[in-house]
Amino acid sequence: MSTVPQPPRTYNQNHAPRKYTPGKRRVSIYWTWSYPWESNRDTSELDNRFSTMTEVRRVAWPAYEGAEWDEKHFLQGIAGTLELFHRSTLAFQKVAGEVTGHPVAVFQRIDQAGYKLPIDERILADTDTLMVFGLDHLVSEQESAPEEIAAVREWLQREGTCLLLGPHHDVGFTEDLKQQQQEYLHHGDALVPRQQRFGQYTRSMMKGLGVPVINQYGLRPALVKGTGQITPLTINRDLDTLELLNGVSTFNFHPHLPHYALTTEDTKSIHVLTRQPIDLERPHPFIEAGNTEFNSCIWMPSTTQRAGHILLADSTIFTTLFGGVESLETFWKNLATMPLARKVHPRSTQAVA
- Note whether 48 and 137 are within 8 A (CB): yes
User: Where residue 351 falls among pLDDT bands split at 50, 70, 90?
Assistant: very low
Q: What's residue 87's pLDDT?
A: 94
User: What pLDDT digit, counting tens, does each position of 186-205 carry?
Assistant: 999 999 999 999 999 999 99
- Lateral strand order in the sheet of 309-313: 105-110, 27-34, 129-134, 162-167, 309-313, 293-300, 271-277, 234-235
**C-alpha angle with apex 66: 65 to 70, nearest 5 degrees?**
80
Q: Does position 2 have pLDDT exceeding 60, yes or no? A: no
User: What pLDDT digit, counting tens, does each position of 269-307 carry?
Assistant: 999 999 999 999 999 999 999 999 999 999 999 999 999
Q: Does position 330 have pLDDT exceeding 50, yes or no? A: yes
Beta-carbon count within 10 A of 114 CB: 9
Q: Over the range 152-162, which residues count as b (16 or more CB within 10 Å of their CB) and which as e?
A: bbebbebebbb
DSSP 23: T
Q: Which residues, 6+ apart, have CB-to-CB distance to 211 below 8 Å?
A: 165, 205, 270, 300, 310, 312
Mean pLDDT of 103-110: 98
Q: What's residue 350's pLDDT?
A: 35
Q: What's residue 179's pLDDT?
A: 98
Mean pLDDT of 102-118: 97
- Note whether 315 and 328 are within 8 A (CB): no
User: What pLDDT digit, counting tens, does each position of 238-268 carry?
Assistant: 999 999 999 999 999 999 999 999 999 988 8
- Lateral strand order in the sheet of 196-197: 196-197, 170-171, 213-219, 257-262
User: What pLDDT digit, counting tens, does each position of 133-166 carry?
Assistant: 999 999 999 999 999 999 999 999 999 999 999 9
Q: Phi and psi dihedrals of 181, rounded to 5? A: -65, -40
Q: What's residue 348's pLDDT?
A: 39
User: Where residue 343 falls among pLDDT bands split at 50, 70, 90?
Assistant: very low
Q: What's residue 138's pLDDT?
A: 97
Q: Which residues, 6+ apart, have CB-to-CB distance to 283 below 8 Å?
A: 182, 185, 186
pTM above 0.75, yes or no: yes
Average pLDDT, the chain: 93
Q: Does position 352 have pLDDT exceeding 50, yes or no? A: no
User: Where residue 322 falls among pLDDT bands split at 50, 70, 90?
Assistant: low
- Note whether 300 and 211 are within 8 A (CB): yes
